[in-house]
Amino acid sequence: MDFKHFRLQIVLRCAGILLGCLALAWSVYETQFLMTPIVFGLFTLLQLIALIGYVENGNKQINDFLQSFFDKDYTRKFTPKLSGKVFQEVSNGLNKIMEDYAKLSLEKEEYYQYVRQVNEHVEVALISFKADGKIDLMNKSAQRLLQSPLLYNIDAIGNYDPELLAILKGLNSGERKLYKTQLNGEWMNLALVAKKFKLSDKEYTLVALQDIRQELQQNEMDAWQKLIRVLTHEIMNSMTPVLSLSTAIRTMVDEDSSPKPLKAVSQDEINDIHRSISAIENRSTGLLNFVNAYRDYTRLPELKLEEVKPLVLLEEIITLVEKDFQKENIALELSFEGREEALLLDPKLMTQVFINLLKNAREAVAEVNNPKVSVRLDQTESSCNVLVSDNGPGIPEELREDIFVPFFTTKKQGTGIGLSLSRQIMKAHGGDLKLLESEEGSRFEVRMNR
């Protein structure tokens, strides 16, 4: 008989208690000796105590196991309190669980240290705070950027920059904002991005701050250099022939550093002077038109927003330009996908954008076989994009970054403000105009915000 089996041990002890109770009852009613009932009573009590102790010893491992979890002590090892295969299997199972949790705890600690090191060494300033303003994370970059020690509440920022505090608290999830501020006498252009999330029913706001002053200065310098290069090119193209013709005229009317008598000027020279003056006038007029175009570019009209359905607007624009396309045997297609809803747009300015894009596309495919221009409208509940594509030769890689620079053009008769003005119009609408990668021809994306 195997007394190491737990269930058998329980059965035997219960049987001993039952027999003890029967013997106690028999001795009380059938014997006259007082000691006999006492002996059987003690025997029954001892069997009951032994059963309770046996069960408690079996449960002690479970209690120790749970206590280890409460104390987060995953290093304990369990050995069977009682002999038998069942208790050995229970101990092995408990030890395996403790090993797994110890491994998970170590991985969690390693990951925490990894995230902490990343937060401390990343160049972007990070601040995370709860709904009550308590700061849970403020890395070293944030301390250096704000020139302050570790803060414990976001309201402390209001002591030296209340406007920045209002922006931090008012940022929505995913919202980006630029803010110019002065800290300790130094101006900074801060780019702020917020992300809101929940953990254990607690709301957190994670804000990334970055001083983009150097980037803005570099971009500003690049923009000025490109603009000066274009202006210099245009002015030189106008002034060089003007100077050359002026020198030629002076040579015709000058004699020994003094004006030549009118009678000494031949008819051919008079004709040359007349042509030269006409050329100077034309170049001066061209330069004046260029300056006027620059002035008009810097004075974008104020938006007059109306509820406009993009598909209806595009259909009207296609009607306006399709005759020019038909004359040159250029296929013009309009496609639509999504839901047709109205947006707040300035129809006149948006018409100017699309006519300019279509005009550029028409000129780009003028010398290709089977010329084709397509306009595709994708409108969803959250976005509205228009793709204007052509199968022309495309824009050279070295010119892709310059096509939006004001007055940059590769056309002999172009002003160079069409694309830059179109992008400016889209920016005013809160959207954008971009040149996308394309395997064939050119592809422009007009993004309209809802």
Whether residues 54 and 134 share a domain: the answer is no
Are 264 and 327 in the same domain?
A: no
Give the pLDDT band of residue 247 (cuts 50, 70, 90): confident
Most confident range, picked from 42-56, 112-126, 224-238, 392-406: 392-406
Identity of residue 321: V
Q: What pLDDT score was predicted for residue 219?
A: 65
Calpha distance 345→428 (Å, rounded)? 10
Give pLDDT, residue 331: 92
The domain boundary residue, chosen from 241, 269, 297: 297
- Judge whether residue 386 has pLDDT over 90: yes
Which amino acid belongs to residue 129?
F
24 with 87, same domain: the answer is: yes
Give the per-residue pLDDT at 184.
63
- Averaging pLDDT over each range in 21-25, 237-241, 293-297, which range is the top one? 21-25
Same domain, yes or no, for 438 and 322?
yes
**205 and 232 assigned to the same domain:** no
Q: What's the confidence (pLDDT) of residue 413? A: 57
| Interval 258-279: pLDDT, tens | 676 766 667 777 777 777 788 7
Is residue 441 in a domain?
Answer: yes
Residue 340: other Cβ atoms inside 10 A: 11
The CATH number that applies at residue 160 is: 3.30.450.20
- Yes or no: say if 178 and 190 are a contact pair by the CB < 8 Å rule: yes
Between 42 and 390, the more confident residue is 390
Residue 420: name the closest of 292, 234, 235, 296 by CA. Answer: 296
CB 294 within 8 A of CB 406: yes
Q: What does 370-398 look like in DSSP terms, one character per residue? A: S-EEEEEEEE-SS-EEEEEEE-SS---GG
Does residue 130 lie within any of the structural domains? Answer: yes
Whole-number Å distance between alpha carbons of 201 and 78: 37
Instruction: Name the phi and psi angles at 390, rounded to 5.
Output: -145, 165
Residues 151, 56 within the same domain: no
Answer with the one of 72, 104, 136 that is the final residue of a domain: 104
- pLDDT band of residue 358 (cuts 50, 70, 90) is very high
Residue 162 clears pLDDT 70, i.e. is over it: yes
pLDDT above 70 as % of the chain? 74
**Region 227-243: what's the mean pLDDT?**
71
Residues 392 and 368: their CA atoms lie apart, in Å, by: 6
67 and 169 both lie in a single domain:
no
Q: What is the mean pLDDT of residues 303-312?
A: 90
Question: Mean pLDDT over all residues of the chain?
Answer: 78
pLDDT at 41: 76
Specify if 137 maps to a domain. Answer: yes
Candidate ranges 299-308, 402-411, 431-440; pick with highest mean pLDDT: 431-440
Contact 382, 450 (CB under 8 A): yes
Tell me the range of 31-40, 71-80, 84-93, 306-315 where mean pLDDT is highest: 306-315
Q: Is residue 144 domain-shared with residue 99, that is, in the same domain? A: no
In the chain, % of residues over pLDDT 90: 11
Residue 194 lies in a domain: yes
Q: Decide which of 297, 314, 349 is a domain's last residue.
A: 297
Domain that holds residue 78: 6-104
pLDDT band at 191 (very low <50, low <70, confident <90, very high): confident
Q: Is residue 407 part of a domain?
A: yes
Same structural domain, 264 and 367: no
- The total number of structural domains in the chain stands at 4
At residue 288 the predicted structure's pLDDT band, cuts being 50, 70 and 90, is: confident
Q: 328 with 443, same domain?
A: yes
CA–CA separation, 332 and 325 (whole Å): 7
Same domain, 290 and 169: no
* pLDDT of res. 13: 73
Three-class secondary structure of residue 363 per DSSP: helix
Let me know whether 363 and 286 are in one domain: no
Residues 12-28: what's their mean pLDDT?
77
